[in-house]
Amino acid sequence: MKRFGKLFMALTFAAAVLAGCGTGSTTTPAAQDQQQPAAQPADQQAQPAATSGEPVTAVGSTALQPLVEQAAKDFMAKNAGAQIQVQGGGSGTGLSQVASGAATIGNSDIFAEEKDGIPANELVDHKVAVVGIVAAVSPKVGIDNLTKQQLIDIFTGKIKNWKEVGGADMKITLVNRPKSSGTRATFNKFALDGNQEAEGITEDSSGTVRKIIAETPGAVGYLALSYIDDSVKALKLDGVEATPENIATNKYPVWAYEHMYTKGEPTGTAKAFLDYILSDEVQKKTVTDLGFLPITEMKVERDAEGKISNK
């Protein structure tokens, strides 16, 4: 009987904790649709005027996750009452969850319009950063530039050896992302002009992709600029290097926006947080530190169809 008593106490306690989480969301309508985060930081009780106490959940893109996490940490340090939960899960998860109202903010590497099954007109896009994507090879391949046609021929499987494009006598191994990946979609659209890639190794995580490119002789894949280090060689495309300046003017065309979607216009903490990410403080420091390009520096604008216009 004693044991049952303990079980009862545990259940009561759990119920109390859940109820306690529930009371957090009171003020604004935007707060009503949230999933309750599993664990909440217990040390934040003060309620400053700028933000309301409802927790904000930002779910989705793993590429964008480090930036949002860092910004959330800084934001919460400045606003003692704010609660922001950042989770990964992939762009698809982010878009699904924000569309269904399960998350306040959906992080995505691609436009909502590019994914079927998402009511893009209900979502409000907040472009927070730009990421450059480069073709990368192992340094042993011995090339540093490819023309777009060469790149297409390599990825469609027409060119099978690096010596055909002036490199070492090595068999080419493709390292792809999964078919549903946002990085693959961007690379396919702007570097391969939509040509279907040949079959190759498929890995999802950028870290694993970099490791494979670095260690497999003759491997070629594509990585976000932030993942390029000394172990792999980033290739120029048609002689243009993927520098921030070249991307800002679209001279180097393989780049993508990092989006943070909200369902309807954001309110309360979510709005304050999005404003904070777009502030100079984050754009000039955190964004650049983590290998992204500040959205504020872009000289051109691109819409969901890929049309470029000057800002």
User: Which residue reads 């390009």 in tokens?
Assistant: 293
**Using CA atoms, how far apart are residues 260 and 298, in angstroms rounded to an integer?**
17
Query: Which of the stretches 78-86, 120-128, 199-207, 240-248 binds other proteins when contact is defined by CB under 8 A?
Result: 199-207
Query: Which of the stretches 15-23, 211-219, 235-243, 274-282 binds other proteins when contact is defined by CB under 8 A?
Result: 211-219
The binder of other proteins chosen from 34, 65, 79, 91 (CB under 8 A): 91
* CB of residue 262 to other proteins, shortest distance in Å: 17
The binder of other proteins chosen from 32, 147, 149, 208 (CB under 8 A): 208
* CB of residue 89 to other proteins, shortest distance in Å: 5
**Using CA atoms, how far apart are residues 30 and 223, in angstroms rounded to an integer?**
36
Pick from 169, 125, 162: nearest CA to 260 = 125
**Using CA atoms, how far apart are residues 243 and 229, in angstroms rounded to an integer?**
14
Decide: 207 and 221 in contact? Cβ < 8 Å.
no
The binder of other proteins chosen from 95, 123, 282, 287 (CB under 8 A): 95
Query: Which of the stretches 4-12, 72-80, 127-135, 240-248 binds other proteins when contact is defined by CB under 8 A?
Result: 4-12
* CB of residue 86 to other proteins, shortest distance in Å: 15
User: Which residue reads 């907040």 in tokens?
Assistant: 126
Query: Which of the stretches 2-10, 128-136, 223-231, 287-295 binds other proteins when contact is defined by CB under 8 A?
Result: 2-10
- For residues 197, 218, 204, 256, the Cα torsion angle rounded to the nearest 10 degrees is -60
Query: Residue 283, interface with other proteins (CB under 8 A)?
Result: no
Query: Residue 117, interface with other proteins (CB under 8 A)?
Result: yes
Query: Residue 2, interface with other proteins (CB under 8 A)?
Result: yes
Query: Residue 54, interface with other proteins (CB under 8 A)?
Result: no
Query: Residue 195, interface with other proteins (CB under 8 A)?
Result: no
The binder of other proteins chosen from 160, 179, 284, 285 (CB under 8 A): 179
- Mask for 136-175, x = binds other proteins (CB under 8 A): -------------------------------------x--
Kindly identify the residues of this chain, within the stretch 6-45, that bind other proteins according to CB under 8 A: 8
Please report, as ranges, the residues that interact with other proteins according to CB under 8 A.
1-2, 4-5, 8, 62, 88-93, 95-96, 100, 115-118, 173, 178-182, 196, 199-204, 208, 211-212, 215-216
